[in-house]
Amino acid sequence: MKLAARIACACLLLLVLAGGASAQDGGKAITKTTISLGTATPGGGFPVYGNAFAEILNAADPGLSIEPRNTKGSSENIPFLESDQLDIALVAGEPSYEAFMGIGRAATKLKILTAMYSSPGMFVVRADSPYKTIRDLVGQPVAFGAKGSGLPILSRYMLDGIGLKQDEDFKSIYLDRAGDGPAMVQDGRAAALWGAGVGWPGFATMVQSPGGARFIAPDASEIARIRAKHAFLKPLTVPANSYPNQPAAIDSVGSWSFVLARESLPDDVAYRLARTLHGAEAALCKKLPQACETTAANTVAAAPNAALIHPGVMKYFREVGVVK
């Protein structure tokens, strides 16, 4: 190959490589900041949220490239963050709490980027099911969520609060994929499916099925017992009409899920993410109803301790007056 042709090929290759690392804005190249985001298994609420989160923030800041990745869920996301295999990740409230408090492990040094949404836990059964209360489900096969997700941890705390053991009093089923649960209830392999929150895909699938579905949550006395034993679980409510054919509000207990960041995430990157997210709160809410709870104010309120919020995020919050 002639020298001129080789030079031309080399220049073309450099242009192609550069195109993957920058975007154009008014004719000027923008260097992309790529952020890996761990979610969970397909069919659950975390991938839905993670995809919406990435789409809205990437659109709001052309210099960001947030890339969602499916994982096994909260229990895998935490060690992935701690080993710098992920930049940020979605983690349910109970695994976050255990990691922050050092329950069953050394206390983590991960930081909170933002609160995601509150997660009141409850069971869903077919509309024609004979089961009306949690204790009616004792001895029955129950799908408690995907292996590695935070949902089975929430249910374990909740059941313990009313004197039940998840793996002894129920025929517990742990899913390889979160999306497999509804079909198991619909065809009778499971009596109930455990889930949490507003907009959770498993609940949506169940209530939209031809036969319909009903929800089962702890009653007032059970909520009091749960709170007495596990005070970190908060009284939460699923508002009326959050799901089709759900005319009444449903009271339960639960916690806040978080977007956590690796300890080594630079302060300026966390600051940029917090600023972009704060400016895009309305767009994220419009994109995904449950994400309406993803706000700077809720992040401060939901954090077990303000010191657990990333320093870069706190710097932004102080600048805009979210905290003093």
Model pLDDT for residues 79-111, shown as the tens digit of each residue: 999 999 999 999 999 999 999 999 999 999 999
Topology of domain 29-118+256-320, per CATH? D-Maltodextrin-Binding Protein; domain 2 (3.40.190)
Half-sphere exposure of 172 (CA within 13 A, CB side): 17
Beta strands 28-31 and 234-238, pairing class: unpaired
Q: d(Cα 92, Cα 98) in Å, to the nearest integer?
A: 10
pTM of the model: 0.79
Is residue 30 very low, low, confident or very high in pLDDT (cuts 50, 70, 90)? low
Asked whether the predicted pLDDT for residue 17 surpasses 50, the reply is: no
Model pLDDT for residues 198-246, shown as the tens digit of each residue: 889 999 999 999 999 999 999 999 999 999 999 889 899 999 999 998 9
Q: d(Cα 41, Cα 119) in Å, to the nearest integer?
A: 18
Query: Do 29-118+256-320 and 119-255 have matching folds?
Result: yes
The pLDDT value given to residue 34: 97
User: pLDDT exceeding 70 applies to what percent of the chain?
Assistant: 91
The pLDDT value given to residue 245: 87
Q: Domain 119-255 is of which CATH architecture?
A: 3-Layer(aba) Sandwich (3.40)
Q: Where are the domains of the chain?
A: 29-118+256-320, 119-255
Asked whether the predicted pLDDT for residue 270 surpasses 80, the reply is: yes
Distance of CA 141 to CAs 36, 157, 172, 174, 187, Å? 36, 18, 6, 10, 12
Question: CB of 190 within 8 A of CB of 141?
Answer: yes
Q: Give the lowest-confidence range in 29-38, 186-195, 226-235.
A: 29-38
DSSP β-bridge partners for residue 214: 125
The pLDDT value given to residue 146: 87
Q: d(Cα 215, Cα 239) in Å, to the nearest integer?
A: 13
